[in-house]
Structure 1
Amino acid sequence: MPSAIVTGATGITGSAVVHHLCKDPEYRKIYSLSRSSPGDKSPKIQHATVDLQSSAEGMAKELQGVEAEYVFFCAYLARDDPAEATRVNAAMLKNFIQALEKTGAIGRLKRFVLTAGFKHYGVHLGQCKQPLQEDDPLLEAKTSGDSWPQIFYYEQERILSAAAAKKGWEWVVTLPEDVLGYARGNFMNEASALGLYCAVSKVLPGSELPYPGCKANYFAFNCWTSANLHAKFCLWAATAPKAGNNIFNVMNGDTESFQNLWPRLAQRFGCKVPNPMFPGGGVPDSPGFKNYEATTVRMSNPHPLKEHEDTIGVKAEGSPTLFLQVDPEKWAKRSDVNEAWGKLRDKYGLDQKAWEKATWDFLTFVLGRDWSCVGTMSKARKLGWTGYADTWEELEETFEVLEREGVLPPVEKLKKDF
Structure 2
Amino acid sequence: MPSAIVTGATGITGSAIVHHLLKDGSYDKIYSFSRGNPGYQDPKVQHVTLDLQSSAQDMAHAFEGVSAEHIFFCAYLASDDQAQLSRVNERLLYNFLEALELNGSAKKIKRFILTCGFKQYGVHIGPGKQPLLEDDPLLENNAGGVSWPPIFYYPQQRVLANAAKKGGWEWVATLPEDVLGYARGNFMNEATALGLYCAVSKALPGSELPFIGSKANYFSFNCWTSANLHAKFCLWAAVAPGAGNQIFNVINGDTESFQNLWPRMASRFGCHIPDPMFPNGGTPNTKGFKGYESSTIQLQNKPPLKSSAAALGLSSDPVSNDSPTLFLQVDPEKWAKREDVNQAWAKLRERYGLDQHAWDKATWNFLTMTLGRDWSCVGSMSKARKLGWTGYADTWDELEDTFKILESEGVLPPLDQLKRDF
* TM-score between the two structures when normalised by the length of structure 2: 0.97
Aligned residue pairs total 418
Partner SS for 1:280: coil
Query: How much is the aligned-residue C-alpha RMSD, in angstroms?
Result: 1.3
Deviation larger for 140-149 or 153-162: 140-149
2:24 aligned residue:
24
Determine whether 1:324 maps to 2:328. Answer: yes
Note the residue ranges of structure 2 that are not aligned, 5 or more in a row. Answer: none
Equivalent runs, 1:30-49 vs 2, <5 Å: 30-49=30-49
Q: 2: CA distance between counterparts of 1:128 and 1:373?
A: 8
- Rounded to whole Å, the distance in 2 between the matches of 1:29 and 1:193 is 35
Q: What's the offset of the Cα at 1:293? A: 1.2
Normalised TM-score (structure 1): 0.98
Q: Is the 8 A contact 1:251 1:377 kept in 2?
A: yes
1:114 alignment partner in structure 2: 114
Q: Distance in 1 between matches of 2:259 and 2:330?
A: 17
2:373 is the alignment partner of 1:365: no
Query: 1:412 maps to what in 2?
Result: 416
CA shift for structure 1 position 291: 4.6
Instruction: State the SS of the aligned residue for 1:96.
Output: helix
Q: 2:100 maps to which residue?
A: 100
For residue 336 of structure 2, give the secondary structure of its aligned residue in structure 1: helix
1:355 aligns with 2:355: no
- Alignment of 1:337 with 2:341, yes or no, is yes
How is 1:6-405 mapped onto 2 (pairs within 5 angstroms)?
6-283=6-283, 290-314=290-314, 315=317, 316-405=320-409
Distance 1:99 1:293, change over 3 A: same
Structure 1 range deviating more: 292-301 or 381-390: 292-301
Post-superposition Cα deviations, 1:160-193, rounded to whole Å, max 9, x if no partner, equal 0000001100000000000000000000000000
1:279/1:41 Cα in 2 relative to 1: closer, same or farther (>3 Å)? same
Q: Find the aligned partners of 1:284 and 1:172 in 2 and give their Cα distance.
A: 40
Offset of residue 283 of structure 1: 3.9
Indicate how the Cα distance of structure 1 residues 325 and 2 shifts in structure 2: closer, same or farther if over 3 A, else same.
Answer: same
- Aligned-residue sequence identity (percent) comes to 71
Unaligned runs of 5+ in 1: none
Q: 1:289 to 1:9 in 2, by over 3 A?
A: closer
Deviations 1:226-256 (A, max 9, x none): 0000000000000000000000000000000
Alignment-mate amino acid for residue 401 of structure 1: I
**Local SS of the residue matching 2:249:** strand
Higher alpha-carbon deviation: 217-226 or 306-315? 306-315
- Report the residue type matching 2:130 in the other structure: Q
Letter in structure 1 aligned against 2:278: F
